A and B are shown apart, each in its own frame.
Chain A
Amino acid sequence: MSALLRNFLGLLLLAAACLPLAAQAQSWESLNTQQKEALGPLSSTWNSLPEKQQTHFLAIAKHYPKLTPQKQQLLHSRMETWSKLTPEQRNRAREKYKAFNKVPAEQREAVKKMVREQQANQAASGTAPANAASH
């Protein structure tokens, strides 16, 4: 009987040990310095983000130190906009990004040039750029 009890308790302990893995919600205060630096723009909204989204952003934070300062700045400027999108919108954006990257490089550059010109014109005319919020 003691063997039965030992096995049962062993499995229960294993289950208890797995619980923290299943529930990964983390408060802003519990994040380490590197994570806080990477996720800075989300500091005020972090605690209200769904667990799944927190997990995604924590995965992004792991890559943050490897980015150039310019890319880190870009990431920070767009992070809040990205966090406000619905999961469907983010999935659609990923699909579009993948599709756009399959377009020949010359055409991609042409599109990027066109967008830059459009932004410059809007800035010159004093109109707020349509995608300023995402920058």
Chain B
Amino acid sequence: MNHKLNTKEIGQLLNRSAAQLDRETLDKLLSARRTALQYQQKEQQAPVLAWLTEHGVIHHHSTPFHKAYNLGMVALLIAFLVGGALYWQQTYEHDHSDIDIAILTDDLPVDMYVD
């Protein structure tokens, strides 16, 4: 009675028990397993992708339509980020207003600084 079961024996016992379960219980177990796997996959995604999936911006399904849609959304997001960065660079990085005002109101005429 006090026989210690090894891993192989535990596995065999579980398989035998599973074979005795009714159809309904098996279906429920299968469904629970699928749900658990889905959660596991979500957790494994990068935080940004997980957030996008969570909020319905991109989709986890792997139909051709969803794949194309996801690709389009990612391309659009990248385009926005690149466009925004370029706009910022053009507007703020090249803002010479301070130095331009200093030149235009300097004691020396502008010609002194122009080739």
Contacts and interface: CB of A to CB of B under 8 A. Distances in A.
Interface stretch (A10-18, A27-35, A42-50): A10-18
A80 B13 CA distance: 93
Contacts of B105: 67, 71, 74-75
Contacts of B40: none
Contacts of A112: 107-108
Interface in B54-88: 56-57, 59, 69, 72-73, 76-77, 80, 83-84, 87
B104 A3 contact: no
Given A14-B80, A94-B103, A59 B95 contact: yes
Nearest to B56: A3
Contacts of B73: 7-8, 11
B13 to A, nearest CB: 46
B96 interface: yes
A120 interface: no
B110 interface: yes
Contacts of B109: 78, 115, 131, 134-135
A128 interface: no
Given A4-B59, A4-B69, A94 B99 contact: yes
A81 interface: yes
A21 interface: yes
B87 A97 contact: no
Given A11-B73, A18-B80, A82-B110, 8 more contacts: A18-B84, A60-B100, A63-B97, A71-B105, A75-B105, A92-B113, A96-B112, A115-B112
14 contacts: A4-B59, A7-B56, A18-B87, A56-B95, A56-B96, A60-B100, A60-B101, A90-B100, A92-B114, A94-B113, A96-B113, A97-B103, A100-B113, A112-B108
